[in-house]
Amino acid sequence: MSAAAPPLPFEASRLPAHLAVIMDGNGRWAEARGLPRAAGHRAGTEGVNRVVRWCREWGLRHLTLYAFSEQNWGRPEEEVGALMSLLAEYVREQRAEILARRIRLRVIGDDLAPNGAGRLPGWVRAPLRALVEESARNEGMTLTLALSYGGREELARAARLLAEDVAAGRLRPEEVGEGAVRARLYAPDLPDPDLVLRTSGERRLSNFLLWQSAYAELCFLDCAWPELTAEELLAALQQFAARERRFGLTGAQARAARAAP
């Protein structure tokens, strides 16, 4: 991982507890420079290293990165292979840093879920599972990688599990509510993201954390992921800190709720 983070320009208590990031623009960043797309993905991995260190040093509790979507399996075989190699390399090279900084690594997506489809190559899945297990008791920042992940696919899986439980008599239809759905998500104990950030100028969620992002603040940056600087990320975090989150209440009600002991 890279150099130390610059200091926060505001109180750490104003940070989002959970930052989720759509790391977009690696391929286009490379193409704009006459480089192969794989070079952009490698630069994107270096960006991951920087952002993970910054967020850990700033004191964020949860960071979730959209690393590989379910739809990404449809990309050219050569590009998918390069991404898998970079993922295995990341796990191997960052293992010591993750453990030394007391980071807990988690994975959401069909591949590492119980009864998952298992599309990740075994030579990627095995070291990834091992690091997830090895870091499970770490109490620093939780780093969650969304791999072979899709929000619609996650919700369809939850609906299927609910239907199976109702059919088996383990759950009554009237018990199917928000809590029952959440309990069947990939990581039901992971708090909802407070801020979802996307790079590269695109302004959409692209099937990322659709259930969990219902009340998230959204921030879209024009820079490609490999170009993201600490100053740009800090500006996004400062913008979040200035927003009033009401969760369906009036502003006066929300302020009163925050002020209550």
The structure tokens listed for 196 are: 């979802």
Give the CATH superfamily of 12-153+192-259. Answer: Decaprenyl diphosphate synthase-like (3.40.1180.10)
Q: Is the pLDDT of residue 26 over 50?
A: yes
- Give the H or E element holding residue 161: helix 151-167
pTM for this prediction:
0.93
Residue 1 pLDDT class (50, 70, 90 cuts): very low
Would you kindly state where each structural domain of the chain is located, as residue ranges?
A: 12-153+192-259
Cα-based angle 152, 156, 158 (whole degrees, multiple of 5):
115
Of 185, 122, 195, nearest in space to 157 by CA: 185
Q: Are 20 and 193 in contact (CB under 8 A)?
A: yes
Residue tagged active-site, from 49, 72, 138, 192:
72
| Catalytic residue chosen out of the listed positions 24, 110, 111, 194 | 24
Band of residue 245 on the pLDDT scale cut at 50, 70, 90:
confident
Q: Name which of 259, 8, 232, 48 is nearest 144 in CA terms.
A: 48
Catalytic site includes residue 72:
yes
Q: Express each pLDDT in 104-151 by its tens digit.
A: 999 999 776 555 557 889 899 999 999 999 999 999 999 999 999 999
Report whether pLDDT(219) > 90.
yes
5: confidence class by pLDDT, cuts 50, 70, 90: confident
**Alpha carbon 213 to chain centroid, angstroms:** 11
CA angle 142, 111, 205 (to 5 degrees): 65
